[in-house]
């Protein structure tokens, strides 16, 4: 049995898997494949993920890519009954929120972040960032409503559904998304981000 490998530098979407690995107390090796140097497009890495993206994992010979698939797999395998629900409905809700994060939130948070914090100042498009933030108003309202009813997305306890959405929204701070209209979502995001495993994963980004 070989140790779990998580491919991708911690400042990439590999952060999501690293945070989860820390929540689950997994013994893993982080292979710091860097998206910024073209390493993700090298033939050796393309054998792991033909898309040329990180993260990917190698779990004792089982190779998997796509950050949400990775987290759902790891949580179900190593956190069933804790971070991953046992009931079919809870599992479906976990998929719902994870897919929602990817389809309703991720692109617009990234657009805002790139145009407010990442691109060189002369390449930033303030209008694109503002439009992306505007698009986020409705889904962030949905999130706010969900965590008004219960402390976490699936109920009383933190699960991988929270982790997956909160990891995507970890870009909201550099993206300077205004959470004032969404106080419950802001509080929920703060609680997720303050978890020791989240802090430990952020430490890896330094």
Ligand X SMILES: N[C@@H](CCC(=O)N[C@@H](CS)C(=O)NCC(=O)O)C(=O)O
Residue range at the interface with ligand X (CB under 6 A); choices 33-41, 89-97, 140-148, 151-159:
33-41
174 binds ligand X (CB under 6 A): no
Residue with tokens 């389809």: 103
Asked if 52 interacts with ligand X (CB under 6 A), we say yes
* 40 near ligand X, rule: CB under 6 A: yes
Q: Which helix (H) or strand (E) holds 63?
A: strand 62-65
* Gap between the Cα atoms of 180 and 127, Å rounded: 20
With binding defined as CB under 6 A, does residue 53 bind ligand X? yes
Q: In what order do the strands lie in the sheet with 56-59?
A: 28-31, 4-7, 56-59, 62-65
Contact between 74 and ligand X per CB under 6 A: no
Residue 71 within binding range of ligand X, rule CB under 6 A: no
CA dist 155 and 76 (Å) reads 18
- Nearest approach in angstroms of CB 30 to ligand X is 14
107 makes contact with ligand X (CB under 6 A) = no
Classify burial at 60, counting beta carbons within 10 Å of its beta carbon; exposed 0-12, middle 13-18, buried 19 or more: exposed
Is 164 among the residues that bind ligand X (CB under 6 A)?
Answer: no
Q: Is 41 in the site for ligand X (CB under 6 A)?
A: yes
- Counting contacts by CB under 6 A, is residue 73 touching ligand X? no
CB of 199 to ligand X, least distance (A): 20
Phi/psi at 74 (nearest 5 deg)? -65, -40
Residues lying near ligand X in the complex (CB under 6 A) are found at 12-13, 35, 40-41, 52-55, 66-67
């Amino acid at each position: 049995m070989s140790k779990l490998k998580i491919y991708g530098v911690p400042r990439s979407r590999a952060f999501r898997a690293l945070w989860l690995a820390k929540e689950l107390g997994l013994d893993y090796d982080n292979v710091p494949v860097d998206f910024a140097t073209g390493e993700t497009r090298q033939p050796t890495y393309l054998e792991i993920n033909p898309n040329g993206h990180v993260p990917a994992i190698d779990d004792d010979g089982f190779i998997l890519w796509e950050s949400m698939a990775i987290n759902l797999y790891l949580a179900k395998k190593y956190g069933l009954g804790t971070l991953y629900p046992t009931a079919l409905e809870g599992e479906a809700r976990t998929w719902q929120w994870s897919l929602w994060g990817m389809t309703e939130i991720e692109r617009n948070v990234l657009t805002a972040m790139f145009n407010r914090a990442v691109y060189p100042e002369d390449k930033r498009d303030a209008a694109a960032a503002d439009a992306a933030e505007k698009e986020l108003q409705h889904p962030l309202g949905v999130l706010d409503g969900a965590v008004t009813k219960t402390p976490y997305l699936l109920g009383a306890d933190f699960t991988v559904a929270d982790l997956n959405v909160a990891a995507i929204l970890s870009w909201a701070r550099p993206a300077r998304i205004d959470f004032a209209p969404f106080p419950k979502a802001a509080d929920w995001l703060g609680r997720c981000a303050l978890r020791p495993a989240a802090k430990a994963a952020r430490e890896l980004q330094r």
